[in-house]
Chain A
Amino acid sequence: MMHVRRSPQEIAANRARYEEHQKKGLEFAPKALPGPSRLPAPAIDAAAIIHQEIVPGGWYWSTRLLRGEAIRIDQGEGNSTVALAAWNAEDTSERINLVDTAKVQWTTALGKGRVIFSDMGRVMFSMIEDSSGAHDCLMGGSTAASNAAKYPGEKTRNTRDNLILVAVKLGLDRRDIPGILNLFAPVRLSEGGSFGWLGKRSNSGDYVDLRAEMDMLVGFSTCPHPLDPDPTYQPKPVVITRYKAALPLADDLCRTATAEAARGFENNALMQA
């Protein structure tokens, strides 16, 4: 096999450039993130509200969400996980991509000030508020099989089937269901790489506000997370409010917190020019 090696100088230059990006990424440059949003959630201006949906526990819902609008996902009476999927409304082959979201921001721990990327290097959502800081972008949702093992003999609904219903009713199909983000799911890894349900359990009143940075179709499922410690299937309703938000200003937190987010917004601007 032929293999022409790069020069040691070229390799050293590329390594140095990577290490510079890595240092900034891991040290929260240029901005430190603000920490969790305060509780209780401040009221949304009634005049800005477009729609409010109370999604029963274990169910699904989807909505169109335009650039400059936002959604608040509110735990209401608490202890529910909300699975989220999203597609670019103009071209549904562009969709939420959690592996890129984690990789480019150097963390799986999403919270206020972070952004959520599509597979095309563009920002789909800005996390403009988040009181929880405990979300899971790795494990995916429940399935018929995982629920059958966890709640034997009980009649349950699961996230996989919910998202099939969301996708198919939007004119998409099973192939179009992307990896999902679980909001309000405090999943973390041990040093050895195994998953645990750690730290704060999401609580009554926790909320996340996601601002849309492109026009999207957004799907939700409100089934218990596979690691939810409650042995009983009793998902609670979730309140999802779609409202008018301002477009991000030049000094917007989510747009400027990291060099990666800033470059993602530059890619959005090219699409939206």
Chain B
Amino acid sequence: MSDFIQTSPARSLQNATQEHFIAAEAPWSGIVRKGQTIRIEDSYGQQAIDTLFYRADDFSERYSNQDTMRMQGAAYIGIDTKIMSNEGNVMLTMTADSCGRHDTSAGACSCESNTVRFGHGTKYLHACRDNFVLEVSKHGMGKRDIVPNINFFMNVPIKPNGEMTIVDGISAPGDYVELVAEMDVLCVISNCPQINNPCNGFDPTPVRVLIWDGED
């Protein structure tokens, strides 16, 4: 695990209001208030962190990958990307990114899609969709509330001819993204357990989430 990399004098390890360690392969969820900044840190490198956002006071408004891509006219998530909801509102804005490559076209792994991608022998392996089901069910939601997500630190290049493949992540230990919330949101994370493709370097690792209050 790497040292903390500071992006602003206002945000240090000491003054974070919340610090969460998410074990390898595990889910997490928490509220990020409007004006707060959430840092999602790939502590050991090459770890896909599958992430969803829901409006905290109305879960029917939630992250939309298609609206996010359409609004920025581009497929990859990066600095200044506005994280859009299905109702056309900005949920968060990405303010810092030390990695430079994040996906929102490839969705989360599931036991079901693993059977299609890698054969039925991979069905009984823990998967992001199961993490999401367990985590959103704590908040009264179900499978129908699980929508295509963001895969922070996952490298999925799409060629002009449409060819799409998951390749080795480029994130180094300690790489991070920071997002400032534009509304109160519930953040739901699956620390991806996939070992059938390179999104986790075939060896899932723990990650860290930090939350700070606004600077003003």
Contact = CB atoms under 8 A, between A and B. Distances in A.
Contacts of B165: 22, 25-26, 106
Given A26-B163, A107-B164, 18 more contacts: A1-B21, A15-B202, A18-B202, A26-B165, A97-B148, A98-B148, A100-B110, A100-B113, A102-B106, A106-B164, A138-B66, A138-B69, A139-B70, A140-B67, A140-B70, A191-B159, A193-B158, A260-B117
A106 B111 CA distance: 18
Given A109-B162, A267-B112, A194 B74 contact: yes
Among all A-B residue pairs, the 6 with the closest Cβ atoms: A109-B162, A140-B66, A99-B107, A121-B112, A194-B74, A11-B202
Interface bin, chain A: 35 or more
Interface in A83-139: 92-93, 95, 97-100, 102-104, 106-109, 117, 119-122, 138-139
Nearest to A194: B74
Nearest to B77: A193
A108 B145 CA distance: 24
A139 B166 CA distance: 20
Nearest to A173: B60
Contact of A175 (B24, B60, B164): B60
A215 interface: no
A103 B164 contact: yes
A176 B205 CA distance: 33
A100 B107 contact: yes
B174 to A, nearest CB: 13
Interface residues of B, number: 62
Nearest to B62: A175
A22 to B, nearest CB: 6
A267 B74 contact: no
Interface string B100-143: 00000111001111111111100000000100000000000011
B18 interface: no
B86 A107 contact: no
Interface of B: 1, 21, 23-24, 43-44, 59-60, 62, 64-67, 69-70, 73-76, 86, 88, 105-107, 110-120, 129, 142-148, 156, 158-166, 195-198, 201-203, 205-206
Contacts, number: 170
Interface of A: 1-3, 5-6, 10-11, 14-15, 17-18, 21-22, 25-26, 92-93, 95, 97-100, 102-104, 106-109, 117, 119-122, 138-141, 143-146, 160, 173-180, 188-195, 198, 226, 260, 263-264, 266-267
Contacts of A226: 70
Interface centre among B118, B119, B163 (most CB of A within 10 A): B118
Given A108-B158, A121-B112, A263-B119, A18 B106 contact: no
A138 B120 contact: no
A92 B110 CA distance: 18
Nearest to A99: B107
Interface centre among A103, A109, A122 (most CB of B within 10 A): A103
A178 B145 CA distance: 10
